[in-house]
Structure 1
């Protein structure tokens, strides 16, 4: 499966770039490298890789700018942001400039490879046009978009995952642990408060009255249920 998969690796730290590229070659991926934003943008537009591994801090411009620029140019594949600081994750979550996922440095190579494998399986299993219609809304998970009453609402990475999981398990009681494992995966050292905060934000986007939710309901002491 990996043979045709192209990965663009954008990282200004030469040693790290070498290590990651070596490992990805070993895993059978085709790797293209760039050390700065301008180089990266040109390469990504030309090569159209399946996955972009993009460093948050780059000389000249930030990863977020590169990300926004290539999205504007119509690049719709996976972009995984590599970030060194925990606080950057908040920025990634807050500004939706088109990141599909992120991994924090220093990362374990096995975790990176697992994340990529997982992403590829996921992107191959979902149709580009996949969408879920419910009530007066439509969720398009590939572009992190929710269309409500004909208006486009941007979802963050995590809101997107949470909503997708609910839509795949509608009218089922989902306990918090299951949801956290599904959404954060191996990073499941998050606490339930964090999850609840994302639920609150998601409710603001889908519910007509977020204080008494019609769809995303709380099941006391257990978790949540997406009622349709």
Structure 2
């Protein structure tokens, strides 16, 4: 691809950094000075950087480079940032889009989030905050993808298809048991109080009884633990709550 003042795929990154690249970040920004700043920020974090200065180039690079995430300005030639955000999400809904703009009105932020943007950072910005926001969005996307199928011990759980197997044999879980188990796998090794589980999994604002949690975990143990009376994965932490250990 020929380079112009409006587009550049990072080619000057040292070989040592490129060999350890964490993936590609697509920068959509028409200001050459800001392009250089953003390229440097993400190159130093060991990402390969693709830069587009207009909407059509951004779409072409999005298709060809399949970036881990997009950092998107709102005011651009050809297409607006809002239009591009919708286009990116229609092509790949799981790719995080982080809007980077000088527009600070709350209504604009809300609109972008409604159009599918994963986060919104206002100019002027802290490089540390921007990279943290982008990396957090990438982690959330990877976690969601990886958790479609989850394996521990002799259990295999497909959260997307809502199927479970233990030792190769089908196990019937209710929809709510899948929901509780997914929450545990997303927070493995962390102690969860009954109140947190009720609020996050059941969505109760006023808790009828914490025995609700105990009974649900007992049923999961009976279905997934080799010895429900001596669990190895769904552990009781006395005086605190429960912890999932893969």
* TM-score, with structure 1 as normaliser: 0.56
Number of residue-to-residue matches in the alignment: 161
Aligned-pair CA distance for 1:135: 5.0
1:103 aligns with 2:121: yes
2:8 is aligned with 1:21: no
Query: Is residue 66 of structure 1 aligned with residue 84 of structure 2?
Result: yes
Q: Does 1:35 align with 2:53?
A: yes
Residue 70 to residue 25, structure 1, CA distance change in 2 (3 Å): same
Shift of 1:7: 0.4
Q: 2:76 aligned with 1:89, yes or no?
A: no
Q: Deviations over 1:108-161 (max 9, x none)?
A: 00111222233333433443563487758x98xxxxxxxxxxxxxxxxxxxxxx
Q: CA RMSD in A?
A: 3.8
TM-aligned CA distance change 1:3 to 1:107, over 3 Å: same
Unaligned runs of 5+ in 1: 140-163, 180-213, 221-226
* Superposed CA offset, 1:67-105 (max 9, x none): 211332346322111132232212123x3x322222222
For residues 54 and 41 of structure 2, what CA distance do their matches in structure 1 show?
21
Structure number with greater Rg is 2
- Going from structure 1 to structure 2, the CA distance change for 1:172 and 1:82 (only over 3 Å counts) comes to farther
Matches for 1:120-131 after TM superposition, within 5 Å: 120-128=138-146, 130=148, 131=159
Residue 46 of structure 1 and its aligned partner are, at CA, apart by 1.1
In the TM superposition, structure 1's runs of 4+ consecutive aligned residues that sit over 4 Å from their partners are 131-136, 167-171
Aligned to 1:118: 136
Superposed CA offset, 1:46-78 (max 9, x none) = 111111111122223221211211332346322
1:9 counterpart residue number = 27
Unaligned runs of 5+ in 2: 1-18, 149-158, 163-173, 208-212, 217-246
Partner of residue 143, structure 1? none
What TM-score comes out, normalization by structure 2 length? 0.52
Shift of 1:217: 2.4
